[in-house]
Amino acid sequence: MPRRLLLLVASCAFFCSSRLLSAEEKIPAERVVPSKSILFVSIPDFQELRTRYEDSIFATFWNDPELKILRDALSEQWDEFARELKTETGLVAEDLLSLPQGEIAVAISRAGRGKIGWAALIDFGDQEDVVDDVLAAAEKALQENDFQRESREVEGTRITFFSLGNTQFGWFTRDGFLAIGMEIEVLASLLVRWDGKHDDVLAERDVYQQVMNRCWRGEEEPAVRWFVDPMLFVQTLVESSENAFQQATVMAMLPQLGVDRIRGVGGTLDIATEKYELVNESLFIIEPPIGGVLQMLRGDAVVQPVPSWVRADAIGFHSINWDLAGAYESARTMVDLFQGPGALDRIIEELADDEAGPKIHFKKDLVDNLTGQIQMAVGADDTDEDELLSESLEISPNTVIALTLRDSRRMQDLLESLGRLEGSPLAARTFQGQSIYEFHVGASPFRPGFAIAEGRLFFSPKSQRLEEVLRGGEGHPRLRDSAALRRLQSEAPEQVSVWGVERLGPQLQRDISQLLSMLTGNRRVLNDDPLADFDAEAFSKKYPLDRLYYIVPDPRGAYWKDYIPRRAP
């Protein structure tokens, strides 16, 4: 794409990311976009969002003197973009920033059979002169790049659009709104619903109403509303194929897989509320009965306490109650569906009887011996070797995963038998009278390992962490005794299917360093690192961004909530 056109597209994309809602009489976008929208995202009141942001811990964090180097790097990138934008298009970046005056919304919708288009609505208020300049520059750039200009009048409003091959890009302005998008049919669909009284709009769709009723119960608008219809996207994608047999085959498979029961997923996001620095609520709606691959994701809500072996300084803890037996039966049904009756059982038996194999029966030795209770604790990487291993594995070496067992002795026998196999990399060592089974592969100072204790099978990429587990957490403060955790959990139900807590502060140094490296083009050298003196521990104590999330079954599917509590003044 030519440079000038690319800058214009980037400008439009920027508009879509910084939308405002102003006057109450404005018709909300959810009452204008079609009911069968594939995706919808709206920021109802950007000025209110900006005000809340300035009152949040995120603004304090961003304005911290220690992050000046990062702010300067981003400022350089922005100044370069602004110079190129003005040179190539004549537009002033600061004018673009002043444009939004109301709600910004983006919708992806069907533009006909097998066709998808998008549209963005931007309430520009009294910034008509800025809009005129933007559109004039865009029109000039499009025509210079061989786009053919056309126009069409719909409901008394003229849509200007440009075509090049199968690509269409256009816009219209009406009642203080700028609408831009791909595919004229999508833009026209907004105009026929412009009065907000049409029945065929997203706001009138039952599944969208269910999502918003569950995820937004306050009087004030949330910072963001969103909704996705996955099945409509799949259907449109399938229709785009010119192979009728392929279309029929895929559509016939969807009910067999159970994914045709998905009705939609959506939610709300808010910041700096009375109770939360950040809160996100989502609802995944599935029409019963749930089956197929979706059955593999089920789990009942139960009490899931933090075990004693998890240290208080863990940067993350996650707990899942998974219906493993149901997931296995669902997997067997899926395999048999495509491979014939009894296919999965036959494969498992053949692997178990293979004289050259480990003689493990996947169903009897593993699946039947696991309850489905899974826990994972992540400790901070506290050595240079830890960080190197984290990068190679893309997982902290201080991670410990625990699987609850039905029969610990049976699992112990299985590990011992694996260790006795000729050429096995698994070798046992004793720690305080208990066995740790390590993988001896390569020259790494760390060895992945297993251990069995407290009725669980433990695994860690760094078997030294298993020593702490076998000590039962003795010698360290425990997460379950943490006052901070109790505060986080006070907002969550006692019984959940999945829950977790994350200390975001200790992750700041790595994330900031990576962002700075990207912005400076990796021009830094080790001896001249502007963040070399950055004290992550001290910084994280100033900004205790502790996040908790949980998932619970809902009569309509599953409900997800995650939040960072409001910090004390």
Q: What is the pLDDT of residue 517?
A: 67
The Cα angle at residue 444 between residues 440 and 448, in degrees rounded to 5: 50
Looking at residue 436, its amino acid is: I
Question: Across residues 264-278, what is the average pLDDT?
Answer: 94
Check whether 20 has a pLDDT greater than 60: no
* Helices 244-257/230-239 angle, 10° precision: 160
Query: Rounded to an integer, what distance in angstroms lies between the CA atom of residue 209 and that of residue 205?
Result: 6
Q: Where are the alpha helices (DSSP H) in 118-219?
A: 128-144, 184-191, 206-215
User: Structure pTM?
Assistant: 0.85
Q: Is the pLDDT of residue 510 over 70?
A: no
Cα–Cα distance measured from residue 536 to residue 156, given in angstroms and rounded to the nearest whole number: 59
Output the average pLDDT for the chain.
84
| Residue 19 in this model has a pLDDT that exceeds 50 | no
CB contact set of 335 (below 8 Å; sequence gap of 6+):
343, 344, 347
What span, in angstroms and rounded, lies between the C-alpha atoms of 129 and 126? 8
Distance between CA atoms of residues 80 and 98, nearest Å = 19
> What would the two tokens of residue 479 be?
């997460």
Identity at 336, one-letter amino acid code: D
pLDDT digits (tens, 9 = 90+) for 229-260: 999 998 888 887 777 777 777 777 778 777 88
Whether 443 has a pLDDT exceeding 70, the answer reads no
- pLDDT at position 440 over 90: no
Range with the poorest average pLDDT among 65-79, 81-95, 331-345: 81-95
Instruction: Read off the pLDDT of each residue in 451-473 and give the average, rounded to a whole number.
Output: 90
Q: What φ, ψ does residue 301 adopt, rounded to 5°? A: -80, 125
Strands (E) located in 343-455:
370-378, 399-405, 426-431, 434-439, 449-453
What does the pLDDT read at residue 524? Answer: 47
Confidence of residue 88 (pLDDT cuts 50, 70, 90): low
DSSP 8-class letter at 368: G
Q: pLDDT at residue 385 above 60?
A: no
Q: Within a 10 A sphere around the Cβ of 17, how many other Cβ atoms?
A: 13
Read off the pLDDT of residues 168-196 as tens digits, 9 standing for 90 and up. 889 999 999 999 998 889 999 999 999 99
Which band of pLDDT confidence, cut at 50, 70 and 90, is reported for residue 156?
very high
8 A C-beta contact, residue 313 and residue 482: no
pLDDT of residue 459: 96
Is 387 exposed, middle or buried (CB count within 10 Å of its CB: 0-12, 13-18, 19+)?
middle
Q: How far apart are CA 229 and CA 263, in angstroms?
A: 7
Q: Is pLDDT of 405 > 70?
A: yes
CB 415 within 8 A of CB 453: no
Q: Give percent of the chain with pLDDT exceeding 70.
A: 85
Q: Are the C-beta atoms of 500 and 548 separated by less than 8 Å? A: yes
Mean pLDDT in residue range 66-74: 80
Q: What is the pLDDT of residue 214?
A: 94
**Greatest C-alpha distance within the chain:** 84
% of the chain exceeding 90 in pLDDT? 41
Q: Alpha-carbon distance 124 to 130, whole Å? A: 9
Contacting residues for 300 by C-beta, under 8 A, at least 6 apart: 321, 323, 497, 553
- Report which of residues 210 and 137 the model is more confident about: 210
At 1, is the pLDDT very low, low, confident or very high (cuts 50, 70, 90)?
A: very low
CB atoms within 10 A of CB 210: 18
pLDDT at 3: 44
Rounded to whole angstroms, the Cα distance separating 48 from 22 reads 9
**pLDDT higher than threshold 90 for residue 317:** yes
Q: What is the pLDDT of residue 535?
A: 65
pLDDT for residue 407 is more than 90: yes
In which band, very low, low, confident or very high, does the pLDDT at 358 lie, cut at 50, 70 and 90?
Answer: confident
How far is CA 298 from each of CA 64, 104, 151, 552, rounded to the nearest angstrom? 43, 36, 51, 10
Name the helix (H) or strand (E) containing 112: none
pLDDT at 408 over 50: yes
Q: For residues 315 and 510, what is the distance between their CA atoms, to the nearest angstrom? A: 13
pLDDT of residue 527: 47
Average pLDDT on 430-448 reads 83
Q: Which long-range contacts (CB under 8 A, 24 or more apart) does 338-341 make?
A: none
- Compare 279 and 518 and report the one with higher pLDDT: 279
| Residue type present at position 165 | G
Q: How far is CA 111 from the centre of its chain?
A: 27
What average pLDDT does the segment 512-528 reach? 59
Looking at per-residue pLDDT, the higher value among 541 and 394 belongs to 541
Section 494-509 average pLDDT: 85
- Looking only at the bridges linking them, the beta strands covering 495-496 and 498-503 are unpaired
Q: Compute the average pLDDT of residues 137-149.
A: 84
